[in-house]
Amino acid sequence: MSRSQYLAHVNRWVVKMGSAMITRGGETLDTEALADWVAQMAALHKDGKQFVVVSSGAIAVGMQILGWQKRPTELSELQTAAAVGQMRLAGAWQEAFATHNIRVAQVLLTHDDAADRRRYLNIRSALQTMCRLGIVPIINENDTVSFEEIRFGDNDNLGAMVANITTAGAYLILTDQRGMYNKNPREHADAQFLEQVDANDSTLPAMAGKTGGVLGSGGMYTKVLAAQKAARSGTHTVLAYGREPEVIRQAVGAENIGTLFLAPADSQQARKQWLGSQLQVQGILYLDDGAVQALTQSHKSLLPIGVRRVEGEFARGELLRCCNMAGEELARGLSNYNSEDCRILCGKHSQEVARLLVHGETLIHRDNLVLV
């Protein structure tokens, strides 16, 4: 199958730039390259494409500002470089997008943010709102408070996490390599370039090896793991050389550039199975006939007006069982509100309780809902 069958209809892309791309080999922030990438995204943005940018480079830029030639090993020094560099980096992105009248928002995350369900939902809601309003989130790891992430340099995996949170259809990793080979092309003259691979191919990590660069601490190995993580959420990944002319336009246009890591067709179903079976149910929502039809036939989100009764005590982000008034289970999903708020909201039109809908108008969003 051609790439267009997988990528042509993708509306939301996560784009990650590595440290080697953001800086001129660590010498200085490459504002020309940054402006070029932004120009490509801005043109596609006008055509309705949405972008979430994951930007590495804070530590590298901070090292340049501080005059450090060698990447530090002390955690506190890494955190200092990140804090210094992040100010410059965020300003550069803002200036570049401003020339195209596009607003941006800085978001600093850690992997722990996705582990906590309530924080996950907060982040998801904020990022979804930014995309809906035409704002481009500029995301980096919160290196000043991170520990393991800063040590292992995982903005590649951070990008995969963001793809999951934002339900992006595709993840583009811009790197200093053309794409992926079956062995290291710097060491093996007979290395073969891989245009398209199954993201879940168990042999890929061994092909990639574990060597990182001087400025970043990832390498091809972490990019493969990131592509595999993104695939579990149904997101395809393209790994491409960041300085290829029109690289973003080509990738979004489903042209043959870089390596495409294909997510399995049933990956979304796998996520729903996890949601439906691996979490403990904390409460029950009893739905009227209209809500039952909306969930089971129209596959819509659950609104307050369709809920007739709330059972149990639960916090925001916990798993609930959705039943009809006869008590038959229809679906399970992660609640946007705690049990106290749900009891106040249930049965009411959104307009009646607008001031209380601080987490959005849905009690359970369809992306966090699975039919059983």
> Among 108-117, 251-260, 333-342, which is the least confidently predicted range?
108-117
Radius of gyration of the chain (CA): 22
- Comparing C-alpha atoms, which of 162, 99, 166, 101 is closest to residue 131? 166
Helices in the chain by DSSP H: which ranges? 4-7, 19-22, 31-46, 58-66, 75-98, 112-115, 117-132, 148-152, 155-166, 204-208, 220-231, 247-252, 267-277, 289-296, 339-345
pTM of structure: 0.79
Q: Give 232's pLDDT tier (boundaries 50, 70, 90).
A: confident
The arithmetic mean of pLDDT across residues 238-250, rounded, is 96
pLDDT above 50: residue 27: yes
Looking at per-residue confidence, does 211 or 34 come out higher?
34
pLDDT above 90: residue 116: no
What is the structure's pLDDT at 154?
67
| CB distance 303 to 364 below 8 Å | no
Looking at per-residue confidence, does 357 or 273 come out higher?
357
Neighbours of 172 (CB within 10 A): 27
**Matching CATH topology for 4-265 and 271-371?**
no
The arithmetic mean of pLDDT across residues 263-277, rounded, is 63
The arithmetic mean of pLDDT across residues 241-269, rounded, is 90
Domain map (residue ranges) of the chain? 4-265, 271-371
Looking at per-residue confidence, does 155 or 195 come out higher?
195
| pLDDT > 90 in the chain, percent | 58
What is the structure's pLDDT at 113?
77
What is the structure's pLDDT at 150?
47
Classified by CATH at the fold level, domain 4-265 comes out as Carbamate kinase (3.40.1160)
CATH number attached to the domain at 271-371 = 2.30.130.10
pLDDT above 50: residue 194: yes
Looking at per-residue confidence, does 204 or 147 come out higher?
204
What is the structure's pLDDT at 19?
84
